Amino acid sequence: MMTKLDALKKQLSAALARMDEVMREPKNALIRDAAIKRFEFAFDLVWKAMRAFLEERKGITCTSPKECVQEAFHYDLIIYDDMWMRIPEWRNQIVHEYSEEFADDLYGELPKILLAFHQLAEALQKNS
C-alpha cells in the first residue's frame, strides 16, 4: 500500500524532472516565468514531502514550510543553508510581489534551489 510519503515522493520526482526540463532551455521571459511556476509546484511538494516524512518516520508534526525545513535539518534530510530558510520566503514573495527584477533575481537562484531539491529527494529515498 502506497503511503502519503510514497505518493509525494513520486509527485516530487515528476515535478523536479519538469523543473530540470525548463531550466535547460535558453532564458527568455517566458522560460523564466515557466521556471518560476515550476519552482512553486516543486516547493509545495518539497515541504509536503518533508512534512509527511517527519510525521510518518519520526512522529514529528510541523505545520508550516519554515518549521518543516528546520525539522528536516534536525533530522539530516537537508544540509543547513541560509538558502533553505529563504526558499519559503521566495515562494511567498511570488504570490505577493511579482516584479521583473524579483523574477530575474529568483531565476538566478533556481539552479541552486533545484540542486537542493534534488538532494532532498535523494535523502527521502535513502531514509524511507
97 Rama sector, left if φ>0, alpha if ψ -120 to 50, beta otherwise: beta
Counting Cβ atoms within 10 Å, is residue 16 exposed (0-12), middle (13-18) or buried (19+)? buried
Q: Can you give the pLDDT at residue 98?
A: 76
Work out how many domains the chain is built from and give that number. 1
Cell readout for 73 is 535539518
Instruction: Kindly report whether the global pTM for this prediction surpasses the value 0.85.
Output: yes
Note whether residue 29 is domain-resident: no
Task: Determine the structural domain holding residue 101 and report its residue range.
Answer: 4-24+37-127
pLDDT along the chain (128 residues), means of 10: 94 98 98 98 97 96 94 91 93 88 97 97 92
Return the CATH number at 93.
1.20.120.330
Spatial distance between the Cα atoms of 113 and 22, rounded to a whole number of angstroms:
14
Q: Can you give the pLDDT at residue 5?
A: 96
Place of cell 513520486: 10
Question: Which of 92, 94, 121 lies closest to 107 in space, CA to CA?
Answer: 94
